[in-house]
Amino acid sequence: MTQAFGDEHTRIKLETVEKYLNAYTKALKQQSFTLLYVDVCAGSGASIPRALLTSQDDCGGQQQLLEAPAFAVDTDQIIVGSAIRALRITPAFDLYLLNDVKKSNVDALRKKIKSEFSHLYDRVTLSQFDANKMLFTLCRETNWRSNRAVVFLDPFGLQIKYETLLELGRTKAVDVWYLVPVFAMYRQIRGDGLVLEDGGRSVDEALGTTEWRNVVATEEKGQMDLWGVSAPVSKRAVDVAWFEAIAKERLKLAFGGQVVDEVLPLGRNGLHEFSLMFAWANPGDKARLASKLAKAVLK
């Protein structure tokens, strides 16, 4: 089974994280820690770029899983997913915690791992939970004195809550790659500056604050009526880059300022839809190597 979603920006995102994982396991291979790779939106293991589809059947931000595509797709056109890329890393991680909310994705990933990575299958835990629930359990039930982890947050919308980021920061032991859906945040504000009710609540939860609502709209003078009176007109006062800046500041707060300045903007056809950010939770001097590795792959 192959998911149908993503585009060239998806490949760039995955290659960036993959480069970091390669450097991470090499850098820590002599350490005594148990190394975990955690992917809470792991998908099915591979995807076909949307641009290759001749017909689309929208399914909550993704396309439906395709048992057998009705069109020919070259092997090099298929985008290998994050979980499979992580399983290819050498030296290998000690444990792989792979999660997806969709049963079909989990089943497809399990099948692929059994057939292609049987030697690592005993190290893999597959689950089907809400991403926030899965991460809360991980953070609170793991002995972080003896474990270290790279966590990849690649949501299909505004699912990741700020409370979850705070929990990850408290571990003092995880590195986090977070694909922040900045355009999804921006879309919750109408052109007239009105914040959409349901979408606004999702942004509140993703940023962990409502303060952003106070500055997203501005008032300007409107046209004068017949009596020379000008009624104020409300307009949206922020853009996608503004949400990127706010999201990074909130991430810094959750991780004690330990967020690299470099951010990778991503999206289809030049549109800034996502911002790939990196944070590390360990405050120790030796852990600063994580930021150096992240900066190197983000350049």
- What does DSSP assign to residue 240? H
| Percent of the chain whose predicted confidence (pLDDT) is above 90 | 75
Give the CATH class of 3-298.
alpha beta
CA–CA separation, 67 vs 255, rounded Å? 41
Percent helix, strand and coil across the chain, each to the nearest 5? 40, 25, 35
The half-sphere exposure of 128 on its side-chain side, counting CA atoms within 13 A, is 10
pLDDT of residue 74: 47
pLDDT of residue 45: 86
Domain locations along the chain: 3-298
Neighbours of 78 (CB within 10 A): 16
pLDDT of residue 35: 98
pLDDT of residue 228: 55
pLDDT of residue 79: 85
CA–CA separation, 117 vs 37, rounded Å? 15
Least confident of 67-76, 223-232, 260-269: 67-76
CA–CA separation, 19 vs 29, rounded Å? 16
Q: Is the predicted pLDDT of residue 1 greater than 70, yes or no?
A: no
Measure CA of the first residue to CA of the last residue in the chain; give whole Å: 34
Say whether 187 sits in a helix, a strand or coil. coil
Report the length, in residues, of the chain.
299
Mean pLDDT of the chain: 88
Find the mean pLDDT for residues 230-241: 84
Q: Is the predicted pLDDT of residue 27 greater than 60, yes or no?
A: yes
